[in-house]
Amino acid sequence: MSPPGLDIRRASLTFGARPLFHDLAVEFDAGSWTCLLGRSGCGKSSLLRMIAGLALPDRHRIECTTSDGLPLQGRLAWMSQQDLLVPWLRVIGNVMLGTRWRGRWAGPTASEARERALALLSRVGLADKADAWPAALSGGQRQRVALARTLYEDAGVVLMDEPFSAVDAITRLELHDLASELLASRTVIMVTHDPLEALRLADHLLVLQGEPARAVPMAAPTGRRPRALDDPQLLAHQAELVALLREPAHV
Amino acid sequence: MSPPGLDIRRASLTFGARPLFHDLAVEFDAGSWTCLLGRSGCGKSSLLRMIAGLALPDRHRIECTTSDGLPLQGRLAWMSQQDLLVPWLRVIGNVMLGTRWRGRWAGPTASEARERALALLSRVGLADKADAWPAALSGGQRQRVALARTLYEDAGVVLMDEPFSAVDAITRLELHDLASELLASRTVIMVTHDPLEALRLADHLLVLQGEPARAVPMAAPTGRRPRALDDPQLLAHQAELVALLREPAHV
Amino acid sequence: ADDEALAPPQMIPLSVMLDWYPNPVHAPILVAKQLGLFAKRGLDVDIQSPADPSVPPKLVAAGRIDLAISYQPQLHLQVDQGLPVVRIGTLIATPLNALLVRADSGIDDLSQLAGKKIGYSVGGVEEVLLAAMLEHHGLTLDDVEMVNVNFSLTPALISQKVDAVTGAFRNFEPAQMKQEGVEGKPFYIEEEGVPTYDELIFVANRDTLNQHRDAYRRFMDAIGEATAWIINHPDEGWQRFIAYDPSLDTPLNKAAWNATLPRFALRPAALDVKRYRDFEAFLLERGQIKSQSPISRLAVDLNAP
Amino acid sequence: MSDSTALHAARPGLIGKLHGPTRALLALILLIAAWQAVITLTGVPRYILPSPLAVARALVEQRALLAHNALVTATEILGGFIGGVLLGLATALSLARFRPLRRTLLPLLLISQAIPLFALAPILMLWLGYGLWPKILMAMLIIYFPVASTGYDGLRQTPQGWLDLATTFGLSRRQTLLRVQLPAALPSLASGLRMAASAAPIGAVIGEWVGASQGLGYLMLNANARLQIDVMFAALVVLVAFALALYFGIDAAIRAAMPWHRDRLEASA
Amino acid sequence: MSDSTALHAARPGLIGKLHGPTRALLALILLIAAWQAVITLTGVPRYILPSPLAVARALVEQRALLAHNALVTATEILGGFIGGVLLGLATALSLARFRPLRRTLLPLLLISQAIPLFALAPILMLWLGYGLWPKILMAMLIIYFPVASTGYDGLRQTPQGWLDLATTFGLSRRQTLLRVQLPAALPSLASGLRMAASAAPIGAVIGEWVGASQGLGYLMLNANARLQIDVMFAALVVLVAFALALYFGIDAAIRAAMPWHRDRLEASA
Ligand SMILES: Nc1ncnc2c1ncn2[C@@H]1O[C@H](COP(=O)(O)OP(=O)(O)OP(=O)(O)O)[C@@H](O)[C@H]1O
Ligand SMILES: Nc1ncnc2c1ncn2[C@@H]1O[C@H](COP(=O)(O)OP(=O)(O)OP(=O)(O)O)[C@@H](O)[C@H]1O
Ligand SMILES: [Mg+2]
Ligand SMILES: [Mg+2]
């Protein structure tokens, strides 16, 4: 299985009279991990939605080509900024949501699928919550279930919108390791607000900047992901990244 | 106006057979800023709810005494982990929610109150969104409205649950300044997952640890809040704090 | 204008409730009003109609209205149940009730009803009347199937959902069938083993009768005058009738009008005691009422000394 | 290659245009066609189901009669609707506000709903006479329950977070009910209001059956008793027109009252 | 000093116990008291409103008659309820699934709702005869609309996020409808089901009034005509008991079908 790269062209989005971006063009290499940063409200989540082919309330257009020319549909997993757990299924059911909702147990049997979901749950530290209702989870626990659900999909292209924003620093590092491992050769586009997180995980850094926004690329540190926290490159890059983020939103 | 300190004693919370904490005792000095940290799911949000006098689904008890002996009610603002914007009011209405819902314009006139709300909105960078519906906001924008709503309350005791988790790094620093300024002499209890954030803002650090959890205090850096990011104390303390957080959850 | 000149200064208000929506059987009341015969006698009569025929006697008993149109068989049940109502006059002096079949059904004799489906409307005594008719022909209720078709007697019969209906009015339903192109064939119940009775009567509250006796007397007097006038002038009567409510002017009502004229009581205030005795005995014998009542509890002759 | 160019642009206009009247008209034409088809196919006799043409003729010929009676019924419907909605709302709020009330009042409510009105009719008439009020009361009774029921269900289901917020804001239970739970219950209540709007005419008509000397319900029964089925159906048509007008009016009012909801609905329509 | 020791502990048990039957019993006692009070205060005569005692006596004395007719009506109610719910659900799903349908079917639905059943009843009777089916159909018609209406409203209001998730999961519209929107609409649908449960008996009774030779509605009409008001009210009592049983049964079923909802409700009760 080799995940496709994505070539985004002429992405435009306007809310009312306000163009968020106009004729944006970005390329995402196959199997690479891109971190998308930008000021709050600059359109990161919206861009992710457009790539995922989701509806937006106002005028928008996008041309999205895959590197292998096959449709993206069915090879994509999306983790939204909200956890989107469904209250009528227990935690385990929420992790296996894709399988449950599609109703076909493609390949593995039901018990194998369940095994895998349980394994993922214990990887995100929630083995003991498999049979809990989502309503009985803390904010960070909910986010971890949503992460497990996304990883469970085992998709070639993974879009994640601030996936670690609600967990504590230690858990966050553990989840970095987990995600790096499980998404090793996938095409990942991840929105984050944490510069260090971006520098640990990304092959490519992309900062949405200005209005209408341009996508400003920045070189990522070298070396295997996830990079060690004490990697001296990180500190060096961090200053550069923060400076880039600081640039006035209104050009 | 001098805000009260809080003396929490014999705080106990049990979900089913699982005691989250038992006979916890903490003191919050009048006018001090305490940051509460701890692993995801350790009970931070629940503790905040208990202090705020909110319902919890299972057995719990708390004895909460104020330093001036007056009731806490009416002097408290709570910002939950979810933004809790109400969809049927525009952004400005959500900021002034307390005034609107209570229906008495205690002291200031309606237009003065509105002025203040607008000023707060522009401080959190959303001046142009005052008349937008909450549904048209990004995640970070919603959180900023919730912050503005909390600050608008102008309460003596302020409880905030991960108030900056959804905004970008730059905005976050700006909001630190804002909150430090407006909550200068208030009694603040803030849950956060970002050690640096805690070290910038806190007079006292408190780590919830173990199961049932104990509240382990840690010395905060000295100097005026918010401390500069390049304050050498921060880095030194950070290692200590992370080590404290790393301690195994299950004792 | 002459009538008004004669009217006493103080008009007595009198509320009268029909048994059902206005139709030709109510002609004497409506025409009396049209002709000003009530006003002439110092009565200010207010006419109302219910959607449920069982309601008016109850309202009379409760003192809510003064007079109601009811049915003699019902009167016996009402008095037996303790309602303080009493008959003070007669509107239709024969049964109107008939058992109706399609003319093309081949039923010439009620004994042919064995195994048939018979529809009936809400009546309260329909079953007893039918039982009497069947027994008269050597059958019992168990030989037929009874269906309560409520107010859809004609449609049920025309569309052959039932083989016969009972509780049909002989002046109305056959005309209705004819209008729809189906010939109906009535069996008159008083010829089939049921004692004869007054179909439509006026009832008043027995407890307050004496207070109002004079007004009621004048009321019945007006009814008598209107009846005579209608019979003398049937066409003018029809015009007065439809003038009461223009929506009454339908071919069906016209047909029913002619069938109804001969059935009006010509001496509406007069009382035939024997009818009430006989019918009460009939109901008593069949267990429909618990006990016999003194005749004065059932009916009065307002003009009796 | 996946291309979703301009997929979701500029739809609201089109849907907006087709709302309300046009929709209803379309449906009406369809209904009349179906009606005629039933007659043609099943050969149902005209004293049971008259043809659309016959009914149209009755509509024109009896317009004065219909108009007069329609006015009466319209008054009853409107009065009943307003009264029923107010009473229903008050009940829902009381049920949500006072816990002890719930255990006893709710079953009573149900009982009131399960009693065929005809059984109560003589009682109502005895107390209220034959005027406008018993009919308005009947319409109220019919409208009352959906509003009270959906309103109560909506009030119960306020997301806990907002209730918590209200608590920390120091709101009284009454304030919480009116300012937090009530707006939060609007979508659910809207469901009940729409249902009530379409049921209101029936309420008035039943009221008229119980006792009346004018109104569309009276006219219908009266015409039915005389086998003037065309007039009866003409009255029915007017009645249905009322119900539709009320429904779409309420629907528009609900949309106007929930402006924040509109974008979302149009976006997902 | 504020002390909220053990404020919210161990409540569910108590509330749980008071649910359903006990609640209903309490209400019943209240109702009977109110009933007697009305009689005592207003002096309404017994042939219009009999005393509770007289009705109780009729209940006992006529138990065989009542039981026989109740069985018939129960069958009709149950059949109508099941049919109405299924049909209503199917309609709600179709409306949510096929956009063109909405514009035309919805007004038709409204029209069907606005037509007093009595007007349709004779037509139905003539087509279907006087057996069990027309009554079941009548009960179905009454139950149908609340279910279809609240179901559709619920299906429309699925939070956008779940729909988006379904899209990225590659679900077909049908799968989305059945697996995402339907469970999300359960609370709203529950509201409609409760309403339907309390209305079902009326449907059956109206069916019986138009043509029947057994059943509680038939019995009521007959008893009313014979001035056996106590028997009529006894039948009414049985009918109301049915409505209550159905309501609380449905309510319990709904609670069982939404276990995730239970905690929340109990927590905020
Ligand atoms: N209704 C409930 N029933 C059972 N357990 C619950 C319930 N609500 C919360 N919990 C449990 O209580 C614990 C504490 O929850 P809380 O929200 O206080 O955590 P937290 O410290 O704020 O975590 P986070 O950092 O992830 O927000 C969690 O482990 C959670 O599973
Ligand atoms: N329905 C809508 N109508 C109008 N404007 C909208 C709507 N939805 C989003 N927007 C605007 O679009 C902009 C981009 O929103 P988006 O959610 O993509 O931001 P973001 O970059 O993800 O921000 P954050 O970091 O805060 O999550 C925001 O300024 C928001 O106000
Ligand atoms: Mg976002
Ligand atoms: Mg929390």
pLDDT value at position C160?
85
CA E16-E22-E28 angle, 5° bins: 145
Enumerate residues 21 to 40 of chain C having a beta carbon within 8 A of any beta carbon in chain D: 21, 23
Average pLDDT, chain B: 89
- Nearest-CA residue for ligand 1 atom 25 is B40
Token reading at A232? 């001296």
What does D115-172 look like in DSSP terms, one character per residue?
A: S-HHHHHHHHHHHHTTSSHHHHHHHHHHHHHHHHHHHHHHHHT--HHHHHHHHHTT--
Chains D and C touch (3+ CB pairs under 8 A): yes
Q: What is the pLDDT of residues C230-259, one digit of tens each?
A: 999 999 999 999 999 887 888 888 999 999
- CB contacts of B136 in chain E (<8 Å) are none
Q: D229, exposed or middle or buried, with CB in 10 Å at 0-12, 13-18, 19+?
A: buried
In the sheet where B157-161 sits, what is the strand order?
B76-79, B157-161, B187-191, B33-38, B204-209, B214-219
- pLDDT band with cut points at 50, 70 and 90 for residue B197: very high
Read off the pLDDT of each residue in E19-29 and give the average, rounded to a whole number. 68
Question: Model ipTM?
Answer: 0.84
Average pLDDT, chain C: 90
Is the Cβ of A134 closer than 8 Å to some Cβ of chain B? no
- pLDDT band with cut points at 50, 70 and 90 for residue D258: confident
Token reading at C8? 């006493």
Residue B91 pLDDT greater than 70, yes or no? yes
Residue C5 pLDDT greater than 70, yes or no? no
pLDDT value at position E118?
67
pLDDT value at position D153?
85
Ligand 2 within 6 A of CB of B139:
yes
| Cα(E219)–Cα(E41) distance, integer angstroms | 29
Q: Are B151 and B181 in contact (CB under 8 A)?
A: no
Inter-chain CB pairs, D–E, below 8 Å: 181
Half-sphere exposure of A233 (CA within 13 A, CB side): 16
Enumerate residues 78 to 117 of chain E having a beta carbon within 8 A of any beta carbon in chain B: none
Least trusted range by pLDDT, from A35-39, C298-302, E141-145: E141-145
Residue C287 pLDDT greater than 80, yes or no? yes
Give the nearest chain D residue to A11 (CA atoms).
D5
Q: Do E211 and C156 touch (CB under 8 A)?
A: yes
Chains E and B touch (3+ CB pairs under 8 A): yes
- pLDDT band with cut points at 50, 70 and 90 for residue C6: low
- CB contacts of D160 in chain E (<8 Å) are 264, 267-268
Q: Do A55 and D9 touch (CB under 8 A)?
A: no
Q: What is the pLDDT of residues B170-193, one digit of tens each?
A: 999 999 999 999 999 899 999 999
Q: What is the DSSP letter of A26?
A: E
Q: A91, exposed or middle or buried, with CB in 10 Å at 0-12, 13-18, 19+?
A: buried
**Which of B83, B138, B142 best tests ligand 2's pocket when mutated (most atoms within 8 Å of CB)?**
B138
Give the nearest chain A residue to B128 (CA atoms).
A18
Least trusted range by pLDDT, from B90-104, C46-60, E14-28: E14-28
Q: What is the pLDDT of residues E27-74, one digit of tens each?
A: 778 888 888 998 888 888 888 888 999 999 999 999 999 999 999 999
Alpha helices in chain D, H assignment, sequence order? 12-18, 21-42, 52-61, 63-97, 99-114, 117-128, 133-156, 160-168, 173-175, 182-184, 186-210, 216-225, 229-257, 259-268
Q: Are E217 and E132 in contact (CB under 8 A)?
A: no
Ligand 1 atom with least separation from CA of B44:
21
| Cα(A65)–Cα(A63) distance, integer angstroms | 7
Q: Do C62 and D213 touch (CB under 8 A)?
A: no
- Nearest-CA residue for ligand 1 atom 31 is A137
pLDDT value at position D198?
79
- pLDDT band with cut points at 50, 70 and 90 for residue D20: low
| Cα(A227)–Cα(A221) distance, integer angstroms | 8
Give the nearest chain A residue to E170 (CA atoms).
A74
- CB contacts of B172 in chain A (<8 Å) are 193
Residue C208 pLDDT greater than 90, yes or no? yes
pLDDT value at position B112?
85
Q: What is the DSSP letter of E44?
A: -
| Cα(E164)–Cα(E168) distance, integer angstroms | 6
pLDDT value at position B250?
45
pLDDT value at position C275?
93
Residue B232 pLDDT greater than 80, yes or no? yes
pLDDT value at position E19?
54
Top residue of E132, E226, E230 to mutate, by most chain C CBs within 10 Å, is E226
pLDDT value at position B195?
92
Q: How many domains does chain A have?
A: 1
| Cα(A21)–Cα(A51) distance, integer angstroms | 14
Q: Do D49 and E233 touch (CB under 8 A)?
A: no
Ligand 1 atom with least separation from CA of B42:
21
For A54, which of E167, E175, E261 is closest by C-beta distance? E167
For D126, which of C52, C64, C253 is closest by C-beta distance? C64
* Ligand located closest to A144 CA: 1
For D4, which of A53, A58, A65 is closest by C-beta distance? A53
Beta-carbon contacts of residue C213 (< 8 Å; ≥ 6 apart): C302
- pLDDT band with cut points at 50, 70 and 90 for residue E2: very low
The residue behind tokens 């291309």 is D3
Q: What is the pLDDT of residues E214-263, one digit of tens each?
A: 889 888 888 887 878 889 899 989 988 888 888 888 988 988 888 877 54
Residue E207 pLDDT greater than 70, yes or no? yes
Domain annotation covers residue B144:
no
Ligand 1 within 6 A of CB of A128:
no
Q: A87, exposed or middle or buried, with CB in 10 Å at 0-12, 13-18, 19+?
A: middle
Q: How many other CB atoms are found less than 10 A from the CB of residue D109?
A: 21
Read off the pLDDT of each residue in B1-29 and give the average, rounded to a whole number. 88
Q: Are C166 and C137 in contact (CB under 8 A)?
A: no
- pLDDT band with cut points at 50, 70 and 90 for residue E5: very low
Domain annotation covers residue B136:
no
Ligand 2 within 6 A of CB of B128:
no
pLDDT value at position D71?
93
Domain annotation covers residue A215:
yes
Chains C and E touch (3+ CB pairs under 8 A): yes
- pLDDT band with cut points at 50, 70 and 90 for residue E99: confident
pLDDT value at position E13?
33
Domain annotation covers residue B218:
yes
For B245, which of A15, A81, A168 is closest by C-beta distance? A168
pLDDT value at position D11?
35
Least trusted range by pLDDT, from B73-82, C292-301, D219-228, E173-182: D219-228
**Which of D260, D263, D264, D268 best tests ligand 2's pocket when mutated (most atoms within 8 Å of CB)?**
D263
Ligand 2 within 6 A of CB of A73:
no
For A246, D131, E65, E79, the CA distances from E72, given in Å and listed in that order, are 78, 37, 11, 11
pLDDT value at position C9?
63
Chains B and C touch (3+ CB pairs under 8 A): no
CATH number of domain containing A75: 3.40.50.300
Domain annotation covers residue A98:
no
pLDDT value at position C3?
54
Average pLDDT, chain D: 79
E3 pairs with which residues across the strands? B63
Beta-carbon contacts of residue E238 (< 8 Å; ≥ 6 apart): E59, E66, E70, E216
- pLDDT band with cut points at 50, 70 and 90 for residue D157: confident
Token reading at C64? 């809510």
Token reading at D208? 């008229």
Q: What is the pLDDT of residues C140-173, one digit of tens each?
A: 999 998 888 777 788 888 888 889 999 899 998 8
Domain annotation covers residue B104:
no
Ligand 1 atom with least separation from CA of B193:
25
In the sheet where A187-191 sits, what is the strand order?
A76-79, A157-161, A187-191, A33-38, A204-209, A214-219
Touching D: which chains, 3+ CB pairs < 8 A?
A, B, C, E
Domain annotation covers residue A22:
yes
Q: What is the pLDDT of residues D86-144, one digit of tens each?
A: 999 999 999 888 877 776 677 777 777 777 766 676 677 777 777 778 788 878 888 88
Residue B29 pLDDT greater than 70, yes or no? yes
**How far apart are the CA of A45 and the centre of ligand 2, in A?**
7
- The residue that leads in pLDDT, D41 or A92, is A92
Give the structural domain span for A55. 6-83+157-246
Beta strands A33-38; A204-209: pairing state: parallel
Alpha helices in E157-181, H assignment, sequence order? 160-168, 173-175
> pLDDT 10s per residue in chain A (251 long)?
588 999 999 988 988 888 888 889 999 999 999 999 999 999 999 999 999 999 887 788 888 889 888 888 889 999 999 999 999 999 999 999 999 998 865 556 778 889 999 999 999 999 999 999 999 999 999 999 999 999 999 999 999 999 999 999 999 999 999 999 999 989 999 999 999 999 999 999 999 988 888 899 998 888 888 898 888 888 888 888 988 888 765 43
Q: How far is D28 from chain C (nearest CA, A)?
A: 28
Domain annotation covers residue A101:
no
| Cα(D66)–Cα(E223) distance, integer angstroms | 35
Ligand 1 atom with least separation from CA of B56:
1
Give the nearest chain D residue to A6 (CA atoms).
D1
Touching B: which chains, 3+ CB pairs < 8 A?
A, D, E
CA A10-A11-A13 angle, 5° bins: 135
Helices and strands (H and E) in chain C: how many:
13, 10
pLDDT value at position B18?
83
For E168, which of A52, A87, A100 is closest by C-beta distance? A52
What does chain B look like in DSSP terms, one character per residue?
A: --PPPEEEEEEEEEETTEEEEEEEEEEE-TT-EEEEEE-TTSSHHHHHHHHTT---SS-EEEEEEETTSS-STTSEEEE-SS----TTS-HHHHHTHHHHHH----SS-HHHHHHHHHHHHHHTT-GGGTTS-GGGS-HHHHHHHHHHHHHHT--SEEEEESTTTTS-HHHHHHHHHHHHHHTTTSEEEEE-S-HHHHHHH-SEEEEEETTTBEEEEEEPP-SSSSPPTT-HHHHHHHHHHHHHHHS-S--
* Backbone Cα Rg of chain C: 20
For C54, which of E212, E218, E225 is closest by C-beta distance? E225
Is the Cβ of E268 closer than 8 Å to some Cβ of chain A? no
Q: What is the DSSP letter of A57?
A: S
- Nearest-CA residue for ligand 1 atom 8 is A136
Region of C100 on the Ramachandran plot (φ > 0 left; ψ -120 to 50 alpha; else beta): beta
For A69, A78, A80, E170, the CA distances from D2, given in Å and listed in that order, are 9, 17, 21, 14
Q: How far is C54 from chain D (nearest CA, A)?
A: 9
Region of A112 on the Ramachandran plot (φ > 0 left; ψ -120 to 50 alpha; else beta): alpha
- What are the two backbone dihedrals, phi and then psi, of residue C35, each rounded to the nearest 5 degrees? -80, -5
pLDDT value at position D118?
64
pLDDT value at position D8?
33
| Cα(D88)–Cα(D155) distance, integer angstroms | 13
CATH number 1.20.1560.10 is the correct assignment for the domain at E51-268: no
| Cα(E86)–Cα(D182) distance, integer angstroms | 31
- Find, among B81, B144, D165, B17, the residue nearest to A138 by Cα: B81
- pLDDT band with cut points at 50, 70 and 90 for residue E268: very low
- pLDDT band with cut points at 50, 70 and 90 for residue E87: very high
Read off the pLDDT of each residue in E174-202 and give the average, rounded to a whole number. 89
Q: Residues in chain A whose beta carbon is closer than 8 A to a beta carbon of chain E?
A: 49, 52-55, 73-74, 76-78, 80, 82, 84, 86-89, 97-98, 100-103, 133-136, 153
Beta strands C43-48; B76-79: pairing state: unpaired
Q: Are C66 and C204 in contact (CB under 8 A)?
A: yes
